[in-house]
Structure 1
Amino acid sequence: MTTATATRGLVEIHNVRKSFHGTEVLKGIDLTVQPGEVVALLGPSGSGKSTLLRTINHLETVDAGSVTVDGEFIGYELRHGKLHELREREILRRRTEVGIVFQNFHLFPHLTALENVTEAPLALKRLGKDDAAELARGLLDRVGLAHKADAYPRQLSGGQQQRVAIARALALQPKVLLFDEPTSALDPELVGEVLDVIRDLAKLGTTLVIVTHEIGFAREVADGVVFLDDGHVIEQGAPDEVLTRPQHPRTREFLAKVLG
């Protein structure tokens, strides 16, 4: 649960719709994530969780509706009452405010852990080489990998690679951090080390939106749980309410299957 008071990172999603090849996968989603809040997105495969997550930092465009972070559109600007997509350079600038950690790490294999973390601040000319290295070493230490700064991804376990990916996402000091099934590609014995890092982040007051299948983790860490099914928000509320006393039959059915 969050213990710090956050002053930035308000995510507002209004009536978002998204279709792929004629099939609508998001059907008018409305959701607000308060600054510093940790929200877990749950639901069956194909429910729209990952697509919704990717609309927040404009990795997926929307067909209708809007997504803002602290009142600012990530991929669009409003002109004469209509949204117009920004140029790629401006999209990239705004996207730096919303970090994302994927399930499959996406580290650069030819770069060390340290270089993976420094790459974005250097490429965007946010920091000089020495300052970027100092920041990266601090972030690797935060995720328990200070001793692996010079290791290449192939020399790291899956859990270690995912922790480097988290450090990399933090290097630009995002307002919001998104996690798309961050443990689904890991061997079971490596899941805990990644969840421990996310637990620590939750205590710092960063806004976190997490697509996860780890029900126990969501119950422990999240401030709010959102259950999606077939492109709709079916139910949302505090973890104890949604996970222990779900009101919607579809939520109850899903939890019964997942929890056995």
Structure 2
Amino acid sequence: MSVVTDGRGLVEIHNVHKSFHGVEVLKGIDLTVHPGEVVALLGPSGSGKSTLLRTINHLESVDAGSVTVDGEFIGYELRHGKLHELHEREILQRRTRVGIVFQNFHLFPHLTALENVTEAPVALKRLSKDNARELALGLLDRVGLSDKADAYPRQLSGGQQQRVAIARALALKPQVLLFDEPTSALDPELVGEVLDVIRDLAKLGTTLVIVTHEIGFAREVADRVVFLDQGRVIEQGTPQEVLERPRHARTREFLAKVLG
């Protein structure tokens, strides 16, 4: 279980709606993630899990409702009682508080592992090149890749690339870290090395929101499991409550299929 470290990283999602091409994907989501909490989002394909995750750091805008991190909007500001979308530069600055790790890594292929991690702190003028390098080397060591600093993504396994992606997300010291199916693109034998890194993060008190299909991992690491279906939160509770004693028939049906 996680331990709150600095009281930051509160995510508040209120009545969020989102549609694509006339199809409503999120249908009034309400969810609060407390500082230092680890929340696993479960649900069938098309339930809205990844879309919900992407609204937290404004990779997806919302059609209605609001999302705040520590009481602040990422993509908007409130003026005269109305929300106005910020300019892209301002959004990028605010977005640094919310790191995200994608299922397909999204590393820059022409940069080494070290350069991938140092790129954002330097580009955003958070750190000098020397300080960013020092930070990046420490983060690569933290994810078990200190010997791969000069390797390019093509020279790394999928698991190693994902660990570099995690180090890159950590380089801006976010209050919240989002994971979108972080192991789904990996060969089965590489899944464990990525989950081990996430386990360590969970112990450090970073607020984590994880979209995952790894039921055993969710049971072990999450403080709370949230089950979504057809764009709605169907039920939520501790892993024991949701995974072992689900109240809703749809949750029971899903778990029966997933767990076989």
Give the alignment of 1:60-79 within 5 angstroms. 60-79=60-79
Give 3-state SS (helix, strand or coil) of 1:2's partner.
coil
Corresponding residue of 1:116 = 116
Q: Report the Cα distance in structure 2 between the residues aligned to 1:58 and 1:8, rounded to whole angstroms.
A: 19
Instruction: Name stretches of at least 5 consecutive residues in structure 2 with no aligned partner.
Output: none
Give 3-state SS (helix, strand or coil) of 2:251's partner.
helix
Please give the TM-score of this superposition, normalised by the length of structure 2.
0.99
Residues 144-190 of structure 1 show CA distances to partners (whole Å, capped at 9, x for unaligned) of 00010000000000000000000000000001000000000000000
Corresponding residue of 2:183 = 183
Give the alignment of 1:166-245 within 5 angstroms. 166-245=166-245
Deviation at 1:6, TM superposition (A): 3.8
Moved more, 232-241 or 76-85: 76-85
Does the aligned pair in 1 maintain the 2:13–2:29 contact within 8 Å? yes
Corresponding residue of 1:125 = 125
Q: Report the Cα distance in structure 1 between the residues aligned to 2:226 and 2:80, rounded to whole angstroms.
A: 34
Deviation at 1:79, TM superposition (A): 1.3
Deviation at 1:72, TM superposition (A): 0.1
Does the aligned pair in 1 maintain the 2:4–2:37 contact within 8 Å? no
- 2:147 is equivalent to residue 147 of structure 1: yes
Please give the TM-score of this superposition, normalised by the length of structure 1.
0.99
Corresponding residue of 2:82 = 82
Q: Report the Cα distance in structure 1 between the residues aligned to 2:76 and 2:112, rounded to whole angstroms.
A: 35
Provide runs of 4+ in structure 1 moved above 4 Å: none
What is the one-letter code of the residue matched to 2:123?
A: A
Q: Report the Cα distance in structure 2 between the residues aligned to 1:133 and 1:86, rounded to whole angstroms.
A: 31
Does the aligned pair in 2 maintain the 1:218–1:239 contact within 8 Å? yes
Deviation at 1:82, TM superposition (A): 1.3
Does the aligned pair in 1 maintain the 2:47–2:230 contact within 8 Å? yes
Deviation at 1:4, TM superposition (A): 4.4
What is the one-letter code of the residue matched to 1:208?
A: L
Give 3-state SS (helix, strand or coil) of 1:183's partner.
coil
Give the alignment of 1:29-108 within 5 angstroms. 29-108=29-108
Corresponding residue of 2:11 = 11
Corresponding residue of 2:28 = 28
Does the aligned pair in 2 maintain the 1:4–1:203 contact within 8 Å? no
Change (3 A) 1:12 1:4: closer
What is the one-letter code of the residue matched to 1:18?
A: K
Give 3-state SS (helix, strand or coil) of 1:225's partner.
strand
Corresponding residue of 1:160 = 160
Deviation at 1:3, TM superposition (A): 3.2
Give 3-state SS (helix, strand or coil) of 2:151's partner.
coil
Q: Report the Cα distance in structure 2 between the residues aligned to 1:88 and 1:31, rounded to whole angstroms.
A: 26
Moved more, 167-176 or 75-84: 75-84
Give 3-state SS (helix, strand or coil) of 1:201's partner.
helix
Q: Report the Cα distance in structure 2 between the residues aligned to 1:78 and 1:133, rounded to whole angstroms.
A: 37
Of all paired residues, the percent bearing the same amino acid is 89
Corresponding residue of 2:246 = 246
Residues 23-66 of structure 1 show CA distances to partners (whole Å, capped at 9, x for unaligned) of 00000000000000000000000000000000000000000000
Residues 104-138 of structure 1 show CA distances to partners (whole Å, capped at 9, x for unaligned) of 00000110000000000000011111100000000
Q: Report the Cα distance in structure 2 between the residues aligned to 1:6 and 1:204, rounded to whole angstroms.
A: 11
Give 3-state SS (helix, strand or coil) of 2:19's partner.
strand
Number of positions where the alignment pairs a residue of Structure 1 with one of Structure 2: 260
Residues 70-118 of structure 1 show CA distances to partners (whole Å, capped at 9, x for unaligned) of 0000000111211111111110000000000000000001100000000
Does the aligned pair in 2 maintain the 1:224–1:236 contact within 8 Å? yes
What is the one-letter code of the residue matched to 2:111?
A: L
Give 3-state SS (helix, strand or coil) of 2:228's partner.
strand
